[in-house]
Structures are given as C-alpha cells and as structure tokens.
Structure 1
Amino acid sequence: MAGNRLVSMKDVARRAEVSVGTVSNVLNRPDIVSQDRRERVEAAIAELGYVRNDAARQLKLGHSRTVGAIVLDSANPFYGQIVGGIESAAESSSLAVIAGSTGNREQRERLYLSLFEEQRVRGILLASTGGTKELIDGIRRRGTPVVLVESSRDATGGSSVSVDDIAGGEIAVRHLAELGRRRIGVVAARQDLRQVADRLHGARRAAADAGIELEVLDAEDLTVLAGRAAGMSIVERPAAERPDAVFCVNDLIAVGVLQAFAFRHQISVPEEIALVGYDDIAFASSTVVPLTSVAQPADLMGRTALALLEEEIADPDASPRHVSFTPTLVERESTTG
C-alpha cells in the first residue's frame, strides 16, 4: 500500500512494466501469460502487497460468493446452530456467510435486509419477525433471492424451510398430560411471533384433547432472565395454587424457570412440577436437572435453507419449494425423574 492508499492493478502493472490486461490475465488466466511476465507480475504483487478487490470483480461478473443470514436472536444457541448448518453447507460450495441478528426487532430486520441487498449478496436466508413481507417481495423482484427460515408455506411467496411448531406444542403438552399432570402452565413471551403463537396453539389443542385448561404465564422476553422471573412468580404462590407442570416456549425460558425452582431447593423437578422446554439447545442436557425438550433439527434446517437458495439461483423460474420438518420430543429427567 502506498501511504494509506490501497494498491491497484495499475500500480502492479506499472511496477512490473506490463499492461493492466496482463495483470488481470495473471490473476484470472495465468496459463495464457508467458512465464517471464507472470513472474514479474507476481513479484510486483508481493512487493506492493496488492490484494484483489473480489467484491468489485463479482459485481462486474454479475454474481457474488457471499450469502446473508439474518436470525431472530444470536443469544439463543438454537439460531447459532442454524447459522452453523448454513456455514457448513456454504463451505463445501466455497461460499462466505455474513450473519446478523435482529434481536426480534422488525426495524433491525429491515436494516439488515436493505444492507444485504445493497451489498449485492448472492441471496438472503431470513428468520423473520413477520412484518417485512412487502420489503422481501421488493428485494426478490429486484433480483436477490430470499429463502425464509422458520416460516410456513402460506407466509411467503418464495421458498422456505420450517418446523411444524403447532405439532411441537402438541407434543409437549401431550407428554405432560400422559404423565398425569392436570394443572399445566405455559410460559410464553412475544406471542406476536409466528413461532410462539403456533407453539401456544398446539399446546392448547393438546390440552383440549386431554380435557385440561391451560394457564398461560406471560414472560417479558424469550430469555433466561425473563424465565427466571416467571419461575419466581410460580414459586411465590401457595403450593396448592401452583401448576404441576410447565411448558416453556423455548429452552432459554425453561432454563430460567428451572433456576428459580432450584433456588434454595424451593420446588423439586419433576416431583412437584414437571418441566418441558423447546429447541433442545446444546446445554439442555447439562442443566442442573437435564431438560426435556422439543427438538428442532437446527443444523439440517440451515443446510436445507442454503440448498433451496442455490436451487432458486440455478433455476429462477422454478416453482418455490417449502420443506417442513416435524419436531421430536427428547425426554430427560425434568419430566421422567
């Protein structure tokens, strides 16, 4: 670099005493350049510290090797697992992944969508808050494919990958009912999010089938601290007024509830209250009482989302595809003792 200025191909050409075209050929088609000229250009590149501007090159060629991934909450390990699946699949295709977290905020989702489009990424993989459909439609019309993650078929005009969260909510509450639990509470936050609403819907459906009326306990957020506060509200009740089972709409809330119950051994799990989470994040099995959880195939969801994106790029006129996975229950000591 000369001073603070980035070294250009012209600088390399001047130092090697060749044309800019020859430098370009050395970088892109070295087999057509004579050995003497190739060695001179390579020596000039090494001496000047030239770095190819691959972003500009990709724009000129009309394609990018970078994929944008937008998730709801990077603090939730579930979304880290999704991004990990995207990155694993991208690596085998020599693609780079840039990830952003919206913190469950529509405004930040809009910002990331606009920035990724401006950067001319290859495509966008999006776990959406649900309020940006018009923006997504516009991005697609302008040529950047968007694949939705955690989105049902009727919520998008493009390809998407999701888990049947209604079935997941049913699985959780049915499991508790089959254990003989009759006073079941559901700890939920952000019911405006499709994922949470579907899990609640499934939970209510399973409760109705079992002749049980659910109690919905509102948490302030989808976090451990919010779960701990919700758990403390249960602890503070007289024993006869507490639920005998709790389903939490994600594992972070469930971990917080478990912490509240374990504090000074105030409530034993599962003897007094059985507990089920959702997502089956990595440390669900290593909590103080290993957590029963509804598992989503996060890594596979990420890999599948990237595969759908590549299908759309290969054939833009093909019909959109939706892939839906069925969650499974992973039973541990928080319900089975």
Structure 2
Amino acid sequence: MAPAGIREVAAHAGVSIGTVSNFLNHPDRLSAAMVRRVTDAIEAVGFVPSNAARQLRMGVSSVIGYLASDIGNPHFGEIAASVQSRASELGLSVFIADAQEDQGTEDAHLDAFAQHHVRGLLVASHHPVEERLALLRRRGTPSVLVGQRAVSEEQPSVSVDEVDGGRQAVAHLADVGCRTVAFVGGPSEIVQVSARLAGAERAAGERGLRLREIPVAERSVAAGREVGALIAALPRESRPDGVFAVNDLLALGILQELVGRGVRVPEELALIGYDDTEFAEASLIPLSSVSRRHRDVGELVVDALFATIRGRSPDRLHRVLKPRLMPRRSTQGFLST
C-alpha cells in the first residue's frame, strides 16, 4: 500500500491541495481552525511530511551538521547533547558525524555534509581545518570552529584557553608539593595537545619544577594503562611525583594501572587529567581535572553559526572560554618528601 500523500490529506480534510501545501510551508497563512482541520486529517490518513522534499522546493535546510573529532570521548558527546538542545529550541535538527580522529574521515564527512546542503556546520577538529572550511564557506556553507581558536578573521570560533588550562594543571601539582611532573600526551601535531604542553612548560618554569614528557600515540584508557605500567615499574626514587595527563581517558587508565600495581594515589603520586568528564568525578579515586565544560556551549556555538547564516558577524568572532581547575582526591593528600 502506497503511503498517503497531500492529495489524501486534502480529500480527508475537504480542502484544496494548495491549503495543505500552505500548512506545510506557510502555516502562518492559515487560520487556527484550518490548521487544526488539516492536522486532524494528517493524523487520520497517516501522512508523513518529507522534510527533504520541502527543503528542495524552498532551497533552505532545517539541518545543521556537528562533526566531532572523537565521539567516543565523553567531552564531545556532552557538546553534541548541548548543541542538540539549543538547535531543538530553534526548530532544527542536527546530523552528528564522528571523524574518529582521522583526517581522511573528517574530510569525507565534510564532503557529505556539503552534498546534503546542511544549513551550517559546527566542526570540532584536532587538525588544521580552516582552509577546508574556507572552501566550504565560499560554496555557501558557513561554519563555526569548536574547541580550536581560528586564525582567520573570517572564521568564527568558540574555544577554550588550552595554554592556561595546562598552566593551571601543573601549577596545582606544584601547589600540592610535587617537584617532578610527567606530561602525558600526544601526538604533538594536535593543536590542543601542544597548547596544553606550552602551558605546562610555562608553569614548570615559573615554579621551578622538572617536567618530562611521556608521548603517546592516542589519548585513550588503553594508552593510559601502558603509561601507568611504565611509571609503576620505575624505582620510587626515579618516578615522577606528579602526572598531568592531557585528557581524562588517559588519566583514568594511568590511575587504574598505578593502583593495581600498588602505587598509592595521591599519597605517593598526584595525578590530574583534563576535560572534567563525568567519569573523572565518578572514579573510585575521584580524579582532579581541568574543566572546559560550559553549560551554555551549545547555545554559544549554535547562535554564532546562525548569526553567520544570517550574514552578520557573531557578537564575538573568536570567543575564548576560560578553563577551571577541579581539584579532587587524586591530588589532595599527596605526601611530599
């Protein structure tokens, strides 16, 4: 049985096809009574409007795209939920794509979004992406860069001061008494990683700490476990007494392995992560972290995108948010020697 169309709706409601078309595209042109009449007919015949067809006719999409660098990281999932909430308030839908931290996958998703004529893009990338976004912008798809401050004065962005976040993390470890700090992160080509390292180096220099780097190929719990095993295997006098992991996933993996191998956290080693995901606070030993969570981030990025769509600049072209230190048990109680 073929699905019901607008002809069936019109026949059931006893109105013209043009009236049903107005209901779908220009409901403001109909009286409240007529809207109710057509609505009842739609429900009765089981008609499902086609947003895609309507967008082709009107030349306007009601969909925006959100491209996450790694949706498996709870931080990006939180942004997605915040974006969806704000977009829903505006009567919009959000298509979400996961680049899986792969530049080729990211490019493919950007192509797909452009081919589907989304109204605009929110792009959370770990790669240099501004040239690609500029090309899409020239072709009619505006965007906001999320989590990375744009260099171009034509590219709106909403980001966090990652240098200050790295500085806060290492300064906190100095404040609790650490003297030798390991920075665990990578790859260094990722803008956010290099910025947090720069902040860590600044704090180490200001506080007279020794800072050593432990590079990792990925920022995952599994990679953290490998680092935790490496640190635990060192003689106590050779271990760092503080660890700054570039995200909470790494930090949680390090924590699991250290505790499992008998290293007392925080008494012997203070540990801090980054992102302040819900898993940080819920850990068996609550994890200190640097928070870049902001309740209104979805509103900020969606509103910035729509200011651009309307042909005007956002209130602030490059909005840079301040991170906040969230001290918890994993650093509170360190026993300096």
Query: What's the TM-score, normalizing by structure 2?
Result: 0.89
Residues 22 and 222 from structure 1, CA distance in 2 versus in 1: closer, same or farther, beyond 3 angstroms?
same
Secondary structure of the residue aligned to 2:263 is coil
* Aligned with residue 234 of structure 1, among 212, 231, 235: 231
Partner residue in 1 for 2:242:
245
| Contact 1:70 1:125 (C-alpha < 8 Å) held by counterparts | yes
Letter in 1 for 2:174: A
SS at match of 2:183: strand
Which residue matches 2:273?
277
Give distance in 1, aligned partners of 2:136 and 2:217. 33
- Identity across matched positions, percent: 39
Gaps of 5+ in 2: none
Distance in 2 (alpha carbons) for counterparts of 1:75 and 1:164: 23
Q: 1:25 is matched with which residue? A: 22
Which of these residues, 300, 306, 310, is aligned with residue 304 of structure 1?
Answer: 300
Give 1:315's aligned residue: 311
Deviations 1:65-87 (A, max 9, x none): 21111111111111111112112
270-279 vs 88-97, which deviates more? 88-97
1:292 corresponds to: 288
Across the aligned residues of Structure 1 and Structure 2, the Cα RMSD in angstroms comes to 2.6
Query: Against the structure 1 CA distance between its residues 100 and 181, is the aligned structure 2 distance closer, same or farther, given a 3 Å change threshold?
Result: same
Structure 1 length-normalised TM: 0.89
Are the equivalent residues in 2 in contact too, given 1:106–1:132 (CA < 8 A)?
no
Number of the residue aligned with 2:124: 127
Distance in structure 1 (CA, Å) of the matches to 2:290 and 2:235: 29
Residue of structure 2 aligned with 1:204, choices 187, 201, 208: 201
Aligned position for 1:92: 89
1:285-335: CA deviations, max 9, x gaps? 121211111011244323211110121122346797111011111111111
CA distance in 2, matches of 1:143, 1:316: 14
Contact 1:72/1:79 (CA < 8 Å) preserved in 2? yes
Rounded Cα–Cα distance in structure 1 between residues aligned with 2:307 and 2:269: 47
User: In structure 1, what residue type is equivalent to 2:297?
Assistant: M
Where in structure 1 are there 5+ consecutive unaligned residues? none
Matched, 1:179 2:176: yes
1:137 corresponds in structure 2 to 134
C-alpha distance 24-240 of structure 1, shift in aligned 2 (>3 A): same
Distance, in Å, in 2 between the alignment partners of 1:272 and 1:317 is 51
CA contact (8 A) 1:227 1:252 kept: yes
Against the structure 1 CA distance between its residues 156 and 237, is the aligned structure 2 distance closer, same or farther, given a 3 Å change threshold?
farther
Q: Distance in 2 between matches of 1:208 and 1:42?
A: 68
1:29–1:80 Cα change, 3 Å: closer
Give the aligned partner of residue 157 of structure 2. Answer: 160
Question: Separation in 2 of the partners of 1:144 and 1:14?
Answer: 40
Cα distance, 1:59 vs. partner? 3.1
Tell me, what secondary structure is at the counterpart of 1:148? strand
**Structure-2 separation of matches of 1:319 and 1:331:** 33
User: Separation in 2 of the partners of 1:88 and 1:16?
Assistant: 34
1:149 paired with 2:146, answer yes
Query: In structure 1, what residue type is equivalent to 2:326?
Result: V
Q: Distance in 1 between matches of 2:321 and 2:314?
A: 22
Q: What's the CA shift for 1:52?
A: 1.1
Q: Distance in 2 between matches of 1:148 and 1:218?
A: 27
1:194 aligns with 2:191: yes
Aligned residues: 332
Displacement of 1:191 in angstroms is 1.9
Match of 1:327 in 2: 323
- Matches of 1:86 and 1:216 in 2, distance apart? 35
Distance verdict in 2 for CA 1:43–1:237, change over 3 Å: closer
The alpha-carbon distance between structure 1 residues 123 and 305, as it changes in their structure 2 partners (threshold 3 A), is same
Residue 101 of structure 1 is matched in structure 2 by 98
Aligned to 1:260: 257
Question: Are residues 18 and 118 of structure 1, via their aligned partners in 2, closer, same or farther at CA, if it must alter by over 3 Å?
Answer: same
Pair 1:226–1:294, CA change in 2 (3 A) = same
**C-alpha spacing 1:86/1:244, structure 2 compared with 1 (3 Å):** same
2:46 matched residue in structure 1: 49
**Structure 2: how far apart are the matches of 1:176 and 1:22?**
68
Distance, in Å, in 2 between the alignment partners of 1:127 and 1:190 is 17
- Using the TM superposition, give the Cα deviation of residue 215 of structure 1 relative to its aligned residue in structure 2, in angstroms: 0.8
Task: Supply the AA of the counterpart residue of 1:283.
Answer: F
Separation of aligned partners in 1, 2:45 and 2:216: 58
Contact 1:177–1:210 (CA under 8 A) maintained in structure 2: yes
